[in-house]
Amino acid sequence: MMRSLRIAAVLAVLSAVFIAFWPNVRTAAGTESPSVGMPAPGFAGADRWFNSAPLTMEGLRGKVVLVEFWTRECINCIHVLPHTKALYEKYAGKGLVIVGVHTPEFDEERDPALLQKAIGQFGITWPVAVDNSERIWNAYGNRYWPAIYLVDQQGHIVYRHVGEGAYDETEQRVRRLLAERPQGQ
């Protein structure tokens, strides 16, 4: 009996750890993530923008773009934000553009006033596309929060990461892309 309780306790702890660290998932029927090397979908269908006028991938040609899917109540997304902020502070002046795509998981996350408040609380100063209708989410075939896509100067996806972590690898890829940037852009 005691052994069964220990096994049950271990399984409960392992389940809790798995749930805490696995990225949030939303399955979108019939969608696939764009392959690395494919042109990045744009931001058509954004319901509104914070911290910027509407952006397009065409208008961002020549820049390195980090597209980050997040939602304000996702703990994994909140954990990633300081790393995104560090990239922005370090590389925005060198040609990196970060675009947050806020795609809500829950109905209460759709409120633009609460989102604007969260943007202020989290210190997000980069552009944020509000994707309440999931048009950008679906265009990317995205299914996870948080998820980042790095887009090169020609508008192609060159890297994708889901969940927390890989911060050093992501920064190395950003630096490499910025080093490849043609002069004058």
* pLDDT tens digits, 3-50: 554 555 544 444 444 444 444 433 333 334 566 789 999 999 999 999
Structure tokens belonging to residue 4: 């069964």
Q: Whose structure tokens read 């998820």?
A: 147
Q: What whole-number distance in Å separates Cα of residue 141 and Cα of residue 146?
A: 14
Q: What is this structure's pTM? A: 0.81
Q: Would residue 6 count as lying in a domain? A: no
Domain annotation covers residue 75: yes
Residues of the domain holding 153: 34-179
Tokens of 104: 């809500």
Query: Is residue 5 one of the residues assigned to a domain?
Result: no
What's the pLDDT score for residue 36? 77
Q: What is the CATH number of the domain that holds 140?
A: 3.40.30.10
- Counting the structural domains of the chain, the total is 1
Sign, Cα dihedral of 162, 55, 103, 116 = positive
- State the CB neighbour count (10 A cutoff) for residue 132: 19
Token pair belonging to 164: 């927390």
46 in a domain, yes or no? yes
User: DSSP for 23-91?
Assistant: PEE---TT--PPPTTSBPP--TT-SEEESSS---TGGGTTSEEEEEEE-TT-HHHHHHHHHHHHHHHHH
Sign of CA pseudo-dihedral 33, 37, 38, 40: positive
User: Model confidence over 74-114: pLDDT tens digits?
Assistant: 999 999 999 999 999 999 999 999 999 999 999 999 999 99
Residue 14 maps to a domain: no
In a domain, 8, yes or no: no
**In-domain check, residue 24:** no
Q: Give whole-number Cα distances, 168 to 10, 20, 73, 174, 180, in Å.
A: 32, 22, 25, 10, 19
158 domain residue, yes or no = yes
Determine the average pLDDT of the residues in 175-184. 79
